Amino acid sequence: MVVGVCTIELRLLEAQTLKDKRRVIKGLLDRVRQRYQVAAAEVDHQNSHTRATLGIACVSNATQHADEILAAILRFIEAQDELEVLDYHTEVL
């Protein structure tokens, strides 16, 4: 069993309030969970309306498959217009 973990630090470009941020992040996390069948949550910067850190985890039977899933999620998030990826870290255990 292989566990892939990714943390992604984001800047929200259009959020003016925490309510705006929560709407954007909740929608993003719901789409990521549904599309890629992974666990995903906001893990830091909960009280900042311009930044968010997401934690994403997947379980697989192959290291390459876990890497591919996390890379696809990162590409999906980078394609979102209202977000900018500031930093990310991926690890396969």
Percent of the chain with pLDDT over 70: 100
| Per-residue pLDDT tens over the stretch 27-67 | 999 999 999 999 999 999 999 999 999 999 999 999 999 99
- Listed by start position, the domains of the chain span 2-92
Tokens 């396969």 locate to 92
Tokens 């850190």 locate to 53
- pLDDT in the model for residue 57: 98
The topology (CATH level 3) of 2-92 is: Alpha-Beta Plaits (3.30.70)
- pLDDT in the model for residue 30: 98
Q: Under a CB-based contact definition with an 8 Å cutoff, are residues 84 and 24 in contact?
A: no
Sheet holding 2-12, edge to edge: 39-44, 51-60, 2-12, 83-92
Strand 39-44 relative to strand 2-12, pairing: unpaired
Average pLDDT over residues 67-72: 96
The pLDDT-based confidence of 78 (bands split at 50, 70, 90) is: very high
- Beta-carbon contacts of 20 under 8 Å, excluding residues fewer than 6 positions away, are 12, 14, 49
For the chain, the average pLDDT equals 96
Specify the pTM. Answer: 0.91
Q: Under a CB-based contact definition with an 8 Å cutoff, are residues 14 and 33 in contact?
A: no
- pLDDT in the model for residue 68: 95
